[in-house]
């Protein structure tokens, strides 16, 4: 979905960056929607990313939330800037099966620090469940 608020050059930069992120490619993650200060990424939980009880591995959930929050921050930066994660805190709320969707958002933009958050939801058989909440800080860096 192309937002009127998100400049097409920034959107292309974010989508190109995501396409070159080999870890997200390994997970078969998909960039769903972008808007200024927002990014949504999804992935289907399969046998490669499960923990021993058949639920989504915590590392998958964390990585998805990290990327969604980071790309939300990237939508607010000039073309010559990237972001790096400085810190993230996660609360795992429930176990997950099905499809995960992480929605990242910018809480407070800044020149040196960008405060971000992300929520991760799982959907299975038409039921949607909030499984994780994340808050953290991204650092803008020159490319």
The model's pTM: 0.93
The residue extents of the domains of the chain are 8-142
Taking only the tens place, the pLDDT of each residue in 45-60 is 988 887 899 899 999 9
Say yes or no to pLDDT of 95 above 60.
Answer: yes
CATH fold of 8-142, please?
A: Thiol Ester Dehydrase; Chain A (3.10.129)
Three-class SS of the chain: CCCCCCCHHHHHHHHHHHHCCHHHHHCCCEEEEEECCEEEEEEECCHHHECCCCCECHHHHHHHHHHHHHHHHHCCCCCCEEEEEEEEEEEECCCCCCEEEEEEEEEECCCCCEEEEEEEEEEECCEEEEEEEEEEEEEEEEC
């Amino acid at each position: 979905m192309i937002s009127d608020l998100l400049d097409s050059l920034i959107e292309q930069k974010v989508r190109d960056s995501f396409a070159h992120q080999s870890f997200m490619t390994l997970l078969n993650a998909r960039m769903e929607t972008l808007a200024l200060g927002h990014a949504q990424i999804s992935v289907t939980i399969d046998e490669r990313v499960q923990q021993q009880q058949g639920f989504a591995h915590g590392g998958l959930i964390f990585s998805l939330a990290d990327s969604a929050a980071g790309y939300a921050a990237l939508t607010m930066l000039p073309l010559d800037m990237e972001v790096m994660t400085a810190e993230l805190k996660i609360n795992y709320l429930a176990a997950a099966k099905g499809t995960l969707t992480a929605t990242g958002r910018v809480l407070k933009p800044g020149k040196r620090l960008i405060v971000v958050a992300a929520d991760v939801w799982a959907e299975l058989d038409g039921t949607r469940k909030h499984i994780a909440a994340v808050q953290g800080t991204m650092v803008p860096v020159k490319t």
